[in-house]
C-alpha cells in the first residue's frame, strides 16, 4: 500500500495525522525515526511539548517523567541534560532504546535529514502561558525558525499559542476548542452556533481548530454541520483521536470524511488507510 498520508473523498483531501509520531498502532510514541520518516514522506505528524527545568521543551505528553520514560519526578524540575539520559518506554511500559528528545534535538535531527515540502509537524504545547518566559520562548524560536513553514504550534491555551507563534514568523497556529462540558451545554440548549463563535473569538487568527471527533458527529446528529461552520470562518478542522481501527470507528471515520474534516488524528494511520481503501 502507499504511505498513509491522506484520503481523498468526493474531491476533498483529508490528512491522516500520525498521533504522537505513530505510523502504526504498535509503534512507541515520540521516536525520532518515525518522526523523521513522516517529515521525509510529507505526512502530518504530531508531538507534544512540556517545559523542562532549563526552560527547554521536552517531547513528552505528561508533565511527569514516570509513565513515558525511565526517569521519575516532574519534567519542570529536571534539567535538559538529565532528561536526555532517559529512555522512552514502549506501549507495554518497558524501556526501549530510543532516548527522550528535546525540541532542540528534534530540530537538529530534521536539519540533518530530508523534509518534504508538504510535511507538517504539529507542536502541541501541553501547558499554559503562565510557564512561558523570554527564555522558553527564545529557545522555542531558535529551534523551530528554520522549519517554520513545516510546523504548526497548537494548544488548548490560546495565549500560549500567540506567544510562541509570535516569535516565529511564518509558523501556522492551531487551537484546541474541545471544551466538552461547554459543547454539551450548548448542544442541549440548541446554541452550537455560539460554541463556534466563542471558539473563533478565543483564537481568531489560528489556521486550524482541533475538535474531539465526537463533537463533530454529535453536532451533525443535532443537524449542525460544525465543520462547515468553522470553514465559514476560514478555519480548518482536525478531528481527534481515532485510537483503534474496528467496524465502529471506521463507521465514524466515514462520517467525518463525509463532513469534510481536513485532518483526522489517529494512533494507527497505516491501519486506518488500509481499512479505508479495502
Helical pair 180-188 and 192-202, crossing angle rounded to 10 deg: 150
Query: Quick check: is 240 in a domain?
Result: yes
Q: DSSP code of 188? A: H
Nearest CA to 259 out of 225, 231, 236, 214 is that of: 225
Quickly tell me which residue has 541534560 as its cell: 81
Torsion angles phi and psi, residue 219, rounded to 5: -60, -40
The answer to whether residue 47 sits within a structural domain is yes
Kindly report whether the peptide bond that precedes residue 241 is cis, defined as omega within 30 degrees of 0: yes
Q: What is the pLDDT along the chain (278 residues), one digit of tens a residue?
A: 689 999 999 999 999 999 999 999 999 999 999 999 999 999 999 999 999 999 999 999 999 999 999 999 999 999 999 999 999 999 999 999 999 999 999 999 999 999 999 999 999 999 999 999 999 999 999 999 999 999 999 999 999 999 999 999 999 999 999 999 999 999 999 999 999 999 999 999 999 999 999 999 999 999 999 999 999 999 999 999 999 999 999 999 999 999 999 999 999 999 999 999 98
- State if pTM tops 0.85: yes
Residue 11 is assigned to a structural domain of this protein: yes
Residue 25 lies in a domain: yes
Continuous H helices in 20-132: 32-41, 80-84, 103-111
For 252, half-sphere exposure in the C-beta direction (CA atoms, 13 angstrom radius) is 20
Asked if residues 164 and 153 have their Cβ atoms less than 8 Å apart, the reply is: yes
Q: Which domain holds residue 95?
A: 6-277
Domain assignment of residue 98, yes or no: yes
Into how many domains does the chain fold? 1
What b-and-e string marks burial along 168-196, b requiring 16 or more CB atoms within 10 Å of the CB?
A: beebbbbbbbbbeeebeebbeeeebeebb
Residue 1 within a domain: no
Question: What would you measure as the largest C-alpha separation in the chain, in angstroms?
Answer: 53
- CATH number for the domain spanning 113: value is 3.20.20.190
Amino acid at each position: 500500500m502507499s504511505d498513509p498520508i491522506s484520503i481523498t473523498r468526493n474531491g476533498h483531501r483529508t490528512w491522516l495525522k500520525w498521533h504522537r509520531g505513530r505510523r502504526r498502532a504498535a509503534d512507541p510514541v515520540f521516536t525520532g525515526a518515525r518522526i523523521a520518516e513522516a517529515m521525509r514522506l510529507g505526512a502530518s505528524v504530531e508531538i507534544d511539548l512540556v517545559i523542562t527545568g532549563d526552560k527547554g521543551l521536552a517531547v513528552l505528553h505528561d508533565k511527569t517523567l514516570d509513565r513515558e520514560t525511565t526517569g521519575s519526578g516532574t519534567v519542570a524540575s529536571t534539567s535538559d541534560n538529565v532528561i536526555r539520559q532517559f529512555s522512552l518506554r514502549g506501549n507495554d511500559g518497558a524501556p526501549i532504546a530510543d532516548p527522550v528528545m528535546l525540541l532542540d534535538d528534534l530540530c537538529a535531527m530534521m536539519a540533518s535529514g530530508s523534509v518534504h515540502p508538504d510535511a507538517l509537524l504539529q507542536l502541541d504545547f501541553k501547558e499554559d502561558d503562565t510557564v512561558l518566559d523570554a527564555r522558553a520562548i527564545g529557545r522555542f524560536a531558535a529551534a523551530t525558525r528554520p522549519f517554520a513553514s513545516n510546523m504548526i504550534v497548537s494548544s488548548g491555551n490560546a495565549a500560549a499559542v500567540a506567544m510562541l507563534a509570535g516569535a516565529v514568523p511564518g509558523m501556522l497556529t492551531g487551537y484546541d476548542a474541545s471544551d466538552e462540558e461547554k459543547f454539551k451545554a450548548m448542544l442541549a440548549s440548541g446554541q452550537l452556533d455560539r460554541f463556534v463563535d466563542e471558539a473563533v473569538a478565543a483564537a481568531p487568527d489560528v489556521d486550524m481548530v482541533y475538535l474531539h471527533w465526537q463533537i463533530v458527529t454529535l453536532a451533525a446528529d443535532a443537524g449542525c454541520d460544525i465543520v462547515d461552520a468553522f470553514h465559514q470562518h476560514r478555519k480548518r478542522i482536525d478531528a481527534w483521536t481515532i485510537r483503534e481501527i474496528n467496524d465502529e470507528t471506521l463507521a465514524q471515520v466515514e462520517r467525518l470524511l463525509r463532513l469534510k474534516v481536513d485532518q483526522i488524528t489517529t494512533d494507527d494511520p497505516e491501519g486506518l488507510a488500509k481499512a479505508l481503501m479495502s
